[in-house]
C-alpha cells in the first residue's frame, strides 16, 4: 500500500487523494504550506516573468535553478536569497553568504542540493512532503528537459542522482533549520540571516540591554556587534554567530545583562571608555590623529573600544568610509580596512596589525584612490538613468561600478550609503535595508529587480 502511495504521489495526484490513501503517512508541514503537486501555469509570475531571476536573464524553465528559485519565491511570497549561478553553487553560496540555515534533515519548502564534486554544475529541487518512512517528495525541473515533475526519494539522497554528490538542504522556508522556537531548537544565525528567529534574537538582546535598535528581523552589522558584546560578557566565543550555545545562554537563568547602553543607530561613543593598555591618546590637531603604531593593539572584525575609534577616525580622515567613529569594528569598518590595505599593497585580510597601523599613521593627508570605471559599466552621475532589467543582482561584498551607481542613487534619495566607492559594505547594506523598508519591499539587503525598479523612480 505504501509503495502504491509513493507512485500516486509521483504521478502528481491531488493532496486530498494522497492523504486519503495514506492514513499512516506523517506529513511534516506547517499549516500555511501548500505542496505543489502539479506544474505551474504558464502565467504564473514566480516562474514565467521577470520576477524570476533566471527567467529574466534568459535561463528560464525547463531549468532546475529557474524552477527552484520560482518555487521558493512562491512559497515565501517575496524574493528569496538564493544563488544566481549554476545549481552546484547554491549550497556553497548559501553557506558563504549566510542567507539561510542548512543541514541534512529534510523539511518542507527546503531546497535540496547536489553537485558534481566541482562546486559548480549540479541539481536543485524543492521538498514538498516529508514522510515517516525516511523518504520525501520533491518537485523539480531539468535543464533542456522536463518542465515539471515530482519524485519520491530517500531523504539522504542515496537513491537519486547517483553520479552527483548529495550536499543537503537549504532551509529557505521560514528560515528554520531543525525545529521551532516552541520545541527549543533554533537555527544558526549570522549576518545575512532574516526572519522571525532574527526578530526573536534582537528582542532578547534589546531586553538585556545589548541592542539599542528596534527589532527588524534582519541580521546586519549592528546585530552582529551586539551579539559579539553579549557573547564576550557571557564567556562565550565572541564570533558574532548565534548557535546553540548562544541561544541557550540568552534564555538561561544566569544570563548576564549589558553593563552599558546597547549598540544601535542611536548609540553615541562612550567617552569614558578607557584607553587600551600602552596605547597613545588621541590628539586632535589640524584634523590629524597622532599614534605610535608599535603601541597599538591588533584589531579585527568584532573588536570594540577606543582603539577601534582611533582607527575609524584615521580611515575617515584618509577618505576611506569607516562610518561613525563609534569604537565598533563592524562590516563597514572592515570594508574600509580592506580597501585601505589593498591601496597600500598590504595583506588585505581586514586585520589591523603593525603594518596597517604604520600605514595609517603615515601622511594623514593621503586620500583613497579613485575606483577605475570600466567602459561597459554605467556611470555614477547622481542624475543617471538606468534600466532595472539590465542591472545585476547586488548583495553585501559586491563590488564595481554597479555598486557605485547604487550608492550614488541611494545617497541622492537621502539614504546614507556612505562614499560611492563601489564596495557594498555595511553602510550600503543598512541604506538598502532602510530604502526597502520604506518602499514596502522585501527587506533582505539584496538589490534585485524590484529594488532597482524602486530606485529608478
Choice among 140-144, 152-156, 183-187, 359-363 with the minimum mean pLDDT: 183-187
Residue boundaries of the structural domains of the chain: 2-175, 196-250, 268-369, 388-456
Whole-angstrom distance, CA of residue 186 vs CA of residue 381 = 45
Using an 8 Å Cβ cutoff, are 65 and 78 in contact?
no
* pLDDT band with cut points at 50, 70 and 90 for residue 152: very high
pLDDT of the residue at 302: 67
pLDDT digits (tens, 9 = 90+) for 298-317: 777 767 767 787 888 888 88
Whole-angstrom distance, CA of residue 25 vs CA of residue 27 = 6
Q: Is the pTM of this model over 0.75?
A: no
234-238, 257-261, 392-396: which is most confident: 234-238
pLDDT of the residue at 122: 93
Strand partners, 263: 211
Strand partners, 299: 352
pLDDT of the residue at 154: 93
pLDDT higher than 60, residue 373: no
Fold of 388-456: Muramoyl-pentapeptide Carboxypeptidase; domain 1 (1.10.101)
pLDDT digits (tens, 9 = 90+) for 44-76: 999 999 889 899 888 899 999 999 999 999 888
pLDDT of the residue at 118: 84
Domains 2-175 and 388-456 share a fold: no
Helices (H), 362-448: 401-412, 426-438
- What contacts 183, CB < 8 A, 6 or more positions away? none
SS in 3 state form for 127-145?
EEEECCCCEEEEEECCCCC
SS in 3 state form for 313-370?
HHHHHCCCCCCCCCCECCHHHHHHHHHHHHHCCCCCCCCECHHHHHHHHCCCCCCCCC
pLDDT of the residue at 32: 64
pLDDT of the residue at 153: 94
pLDDT higher than 80, residue 345: yes
Nearest of 39, 35, 85, 45 to residue 62 by alpha carbon: 39
Q: What is the mean pLDDT of residues 211-234?
A: 83
pLDDT of the residue at 374: 34
Q: What is the CATH number of domain 268-369?
A: 1.10.101.10
pLDDT of the residue at 179: 34
pLDDT of the residue at 401: 82
Q: What is the mean pLDDT of residues 241-261?
A: 78
Using CA atoms in the order 356, 362, 427, 455, what is the torsion angle rounded to 10 degrees?
-120
* pLDDT band with cut points at 50, 70 and 90 for residue 457: confident
pLDDT higher than 80, residue 363: no
Pick the CATH number of 2-175 from 3.90.1720.10, 3.30.1380.10, 3.40.50.300, 3.90.230.10: 3.90.1720.10
* pLDDT band with cut points at 50, 70 and 90 for residue 295: low
Whole-angstrom distance, CA of residue 92 vs CA of residue 119 = 7
pLDDT digits (tens, 9 = 90+) for 267-293: 333 333 333 333 333 333 334 456 677
Distances (CA, A) of 307 to 120, 128, 314, 426, 436: 42, 52, 11, 20, 34
* pLDDT band with cut points at 50, 70 and 90 for residue 242: confident
Q: Tell me how crowded residue 343 is: count the other CB atoms within 10 A of its CB.
A: 17
pLDDT higher than 70, residue 236: yes
Q: Which residue has the cell 516562474?
A: 47
- Per DSSP (E only), the strands in 212-320 are none
pLDDT of the residue at 262: 56
Amino acid at each position: 500500500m505504501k509503495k502504491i502511495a509513493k507512485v500516486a504521489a509521483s504521478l502528481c495526484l491531488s493532496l486530498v487523494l494522497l492523504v486519503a490513501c495514506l492514513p499512516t503517512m506523517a506529513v511534516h508541514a506547517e499549516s500555511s504550506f501548500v505542496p505543489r503537486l502539479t506544474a505551474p501555469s504558464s502565467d504564473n509570475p514566480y516562474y514565467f516573468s521577470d520576477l524570476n531571476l533566471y527567467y529574466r536573464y534568459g535561463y528560464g524553465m525547463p531549468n532546475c535553478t529557474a524552477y527552484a528559485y520560482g518555487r521558493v519565491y512562491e512559497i515565501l511570497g517575496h524574493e528569496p536569497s538564493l544563488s544566481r549561478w549554476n545549481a552546484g553553487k547554491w549550497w556553497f553560496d548559501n553557506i558563504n553568504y549566510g542567507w539561510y540555515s542548512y543541514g541534512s534533515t529534510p523539511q518542507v519548502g527546503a531546497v535540496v542540493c547536489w553537485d558534481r564534486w566541482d562546486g559548480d554544475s549540479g541539481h536543485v529541487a524543492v521538498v514538498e512532503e516529508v514522510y515517516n518512512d525516511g523518504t520525501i517528495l520533491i518537485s523539480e525541473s531539468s535543464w533542456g528537459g522536463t518542465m515539471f515533475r515530482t519524485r519520491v526519494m530517500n531523504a539522504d539522497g542515496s537513491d537519486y542522482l547517483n553520479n552527483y554528490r548529495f550536499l543537503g538542504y537549504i532551509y529557505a522556508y521560514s528560515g528554520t533549520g531543525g525545529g521551532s522556537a516552541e520545541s527549543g531548537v533554533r537555527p544558526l544565525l549570522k549576518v545575512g540571516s532574516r526572519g522571525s528567529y532574527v526578530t526573536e534574537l534582537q528582542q532578547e538582546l534589546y531586553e538585556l540591554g545589548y541592542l539599542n535598535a528596534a527589532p527588524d528581523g534582519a541580521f546586519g552589522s549592528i546585530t552582529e556587534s551586539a551579539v559579539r558584546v553579549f557573547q564576550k560578557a557571557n564567556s562565550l566565543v565572541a564570533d558574532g554567530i548565534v548557535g546553540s550555545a548562544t541561544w541557550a545562554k540568552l534564555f538561561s537563568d544566569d544570563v548576564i545583562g549589558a553593563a552599558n547602553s546597547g549598540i544601535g543607530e542611536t548609540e553615541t561613543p562612550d567617552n569614558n571608555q578607557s584607553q587600551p593598555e600602552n596605547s597613545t591618546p588621541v590628539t586632535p590637531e589640524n584634523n590629524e590623529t597622532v599614534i605610535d603604531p608599535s603601541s597599538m593593539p591588533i584589531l579585527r572584525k568584532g573588536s570594540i573600544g577606543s582603539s577601534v575609534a582611533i582607527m575609524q577616525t584615521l580611515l575617515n580622515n584618509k577618505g576611506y568610509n569607516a562610518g561613525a567613529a563609534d569604537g565598533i569594528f563592524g562590516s563597514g569598518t572592515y570594508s574600509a580596512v580592506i580597501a585601505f590595505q589593498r591601496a597600500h599593497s598590504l595583506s588585505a585580510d581586514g586585520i589591523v596589525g603593525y603594518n596597517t597601523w604604520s600605514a595609517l599613521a603615515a601622511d594623514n593627508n593621503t586620500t583613497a584612490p579613485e575606483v577605475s570605471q570600466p567602459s561597459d559599466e554605467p556611470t555614477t552621475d547622481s542624475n543617471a538613468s538606468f534600466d532595472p532589467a539590465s542591472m545585476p543582482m547586488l548583495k553585501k561584498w559586491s563590488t564595481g561600478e554597479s555598486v557605485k551607481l547604487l550608492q550614488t542613487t541611494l545617497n541622492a534619495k537621502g539614504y546614507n550609503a556612505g562614499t560611492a566607492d563601489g564596495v557594498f559594505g555595511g553602510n550600503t547594506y543598512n541604506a538598502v535595508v532602510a530604502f526597502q523598508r520604506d518602499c514596502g519591499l522585501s527587506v533582505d539587503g539584496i538589490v534585485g529587480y524590484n529594488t532597482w525598479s524602486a530606485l529608478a523612480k
